[in-house]
Amino acid sequence: MNVEICIDSVESAIAAARGGAKRVELCSALSEGGITPSSGLIHAVRAAIDIDLFVIIRPRGGDFVYSELEFEVMTQDIREAKNRKVDGVVLGILTPGGQVDTERTRKLIELARPLRVTFHRAFDVCVDLDRALEDVISTGADRILTSGGAPDAMRGMDRLAQLQKAARGRISIMAGGGIRPSNARALTLRTGVDEVHSSLSRGSDESAELGSGQNGRRAYVVFEEDVRAFKAAVSATPLDVETDVRQ
């Protein structure tokens, strides 16, 4: 079972690596769903960890329909990420009609190679997930991060199982959205996915002591012990989670 942890700092990257994660997805502005991190942050995280480092390529928060100027920013960010020796990028572009923008997504993937590419949860707002699955496969992406089109992966379990079956090994389906140690193994048993994604973040005591930062906002960090617990949960035997699966 491959565990990916979403992080926005060097400290969280180190905690994820020490906790046993296979991969991290590096973002900035997680309150906006994640946007492309600075080159300085990418450099610092790459220097700090040896596990796989994926970087989100998203020029702003909001929707996933991008102008030509924003598309150009994405191409430059991919080039910068490659220069920083990352292992992969995470991206997604939609059309105004809520379908995968296959042409421009394919161009970004071709630019990113030989890096691996994840199509992110823009997938979940597509109007037709079955068509979106085939469209993403046609772009050459390596995996899709999805909650099955639901607000979280637990509510999207049945759809995730359908997507996993429909993919037929042509692309990896990685479940994400509200996954925690308490539900992770039940979800993987129900859906058949072998990759899971979580932020596992919680408010740090230090940020609280400092007055919660500017405008009352707290810094959120990943802790090594939480990653270990998450990794142990997805590795549990079916007997350990039999009760959860029945719920």
pLDDT, position 204? 53
- Which CATH number goes with the domain that contains 103? 3.20.20.380
Phi, psi dihedrals of residue 152, rounded to the nearest 5°:
-150, 165
Dist. CA 148–CA 163, nearest whole Å: 8
- Region label for 34, one of left (φ > 0), alpha (ψ between -120 and 50) or beta (otherwise): left
Give the domain range for residue 41: 2-246
The answer to whether 66 touches 34, Cβ cutoff 8 Å, is no
Dist. CA 178–CA 200, nearest whole Å: 9
pLDDT, position 243? 42
Structurally, the chain folds into a number of domains equal to 1
Low-confidence ranges of the chain (pLDDT < 50): 205-214, 239-247
Dist. CA 10–CA 23, nearest whole Å: 14
The answer to whether 57 touches 81, Cβ cutoff 8 Å, is yes
pTM for the model: 0.90
Given the DSSP bridges, would you call strands 116-119 and 143-146 parallel, antiparallel or unpaired? parallel
pLDDT, position 235? 82
pLDDT, position 220? 77
Dist. CA 134–CA 100, nearest whole Å: 10
CA distances from 106 to 65, 89, 145, 154 (A): 15, 13, 17, 30
